Amino acid sequence: MVTIKRLLGATVCGLTLLASAVQAEQRELRVYNWADYILPSVPKDFAKNSGIQLTWDTFDTNESLEAKLLTGNSGYDLVVPSNQFLETQINAKVFQKLDKSKLPNWSRQDPELLKLLAKNDPGNQYGVPYMVGTVLIGFNPAKVKAALGENAPVDSWDLVFKPENMEKLKSCGVAMLDSPTEIIPIALQYLGLDPNSQNPADYETVKKMLLKVRPYVTYFNSAKYMTDIANGDICVAIGYSGSFYQFGNRAKEAGNGVVVDWRLPKSGAPIWFDTFAIPKSAKNVDEAHAFLNNLLEPKVIASISDFLGYPNANKDSLPLINKDITGNPNLTPTSEALKTLYVVQPLPQNMERVRTRAWIAIKSGT
């Protein structure tokens, strides 16, 4: 009888251990991030150290992510919308609030950057900031000097919004992002208007201004400018801050003699955040928080910033990041420059249509 009890006890214990092992094996996390937007060792190390099975899928546009989220069941536990889309999706109630008791590293965030992000995410309840950047002016110093002389206004939107400058730059090539949600707010702010204006007349004013420089724009594209400026095929672009850093380094590595530089205009520019958020339909919420807290470790997020060429919102990581990034005020804005930066917010549908119509007219030159 004792033997039977012992055998039964051993069997139950074995089954319990087996169940625990199966349960541990079943811990998983499904992440949906931008393509090529992580240091590959970070998810690998997290999976290895946590024992959590990680599925890492990628997308190329905010729109494709949004389409998946709005189905109500994305199939993912973490997604990475940009701040404008984060706001729209918060309003659509597709995310669950962060449990900050599970994010002890949250205190490492820069309060000034969190304050800016709060324009899209009031109270910073849903989004964990990942990479941070601006939209600014990238240029080839030698070619711009040849076109405009020593005093070319490379730190001003005058460079690309004044027809007399653009006419001279046309021969060496000027590119703009193919994005009304980025170019039009910049033009509004340049004219002294609200970059998130809901006045239709303001968009007509912007249209008139941009149509004057449209004949001198080589193309509108949100990716092509990166390789073109590194190859010397264009001399000026409105683009993303980190992209000029990355492709400037590629030009150096190629030894093609091309120099890429960039400037954050003194009058101000849009600041953007890519954020991690947890869909309401997420099945592995504890694992999502575990990944996020690991991401907020200064050494971890600093290594990603070094790899991608963008700063982040983690103040404790700054001393660990390459000084080429943190020491460059055109990549990591100073506290003074932060006062001139603004976030772009989604517009009501009727105003979005106004902006879209203006953009179509600008691109077509009519």
pLDDT computed for residue 10 by the predictor: 44
pLDDT computed for residue 25 by the predictor: 60
CA dihedral 246, 228, 164, 217 (to 10 degrees): -120
Alpha-carbon span 134 to 138, nearest angstrom: 12
pLDDT in tens, 241-272: 999 999 999 999 999 999 999 999 999 999 99
Alpha-carbon span 152 to 146, nearest angstrom: 10
Query: If DSSP codes are grouped into helix, strand and coil, which group holds residue 170?
Result: helix
Alpha-carbon span 113 to 200, nearest angstrom: 30
pLDDT computed for residue 26 by the predictor: 74
pLDDT at 6 over 90: no
DSSP 136: E
Query: pLDDT confidence of 4, banded at 50, 70, 90?
Result: very low
Both tokens assigned to 279: 């869909």
CB-CB neighbours of 287 under 10 Å = 22
pLDDT in tens, 143-194: 999 999 999 999 999 999 999 999 999 999 999 999 999 999 999 999 999 9
Helix (H) or strand (E) holding 114: helix 111-117
pLDDT in tens, 275-295: 999 999 999 999 999 999 999
pLDDT computed for residue 13 by the predictor: 43
Query: pLDDT confidence of 12, banded at 50, 70, 90?
Result: very low
Cβ proximity of 239 and 248 under 8 Å: no
Both tokens assigned to 109: 């965030």
Angle at alpha carbon of residue 149, lines to 145 and 155, rounded to 5°: 70
DSSP 277: B
Please name each of the domains of the chain with its CATH number: 30-126+275-332 (3.40.190.10), 134-270+345-364 (3.40.190.10)
CB-CB neighbours of 101 under 10 Å = 8
Tell me how far apart the 2 most distant CA atoms of the chain are, in Å: 100
pLDDT at 22 over 70: no
pLDDT in tens, 46-58: 999 999 999 999 9
Q: What is the mean pLDDT of residues 39-64?
A: 95
pLDDT computed for residue 92 by the predictor: 95
Alpha-carbon span 119 to 137, nearest angstrom: 24
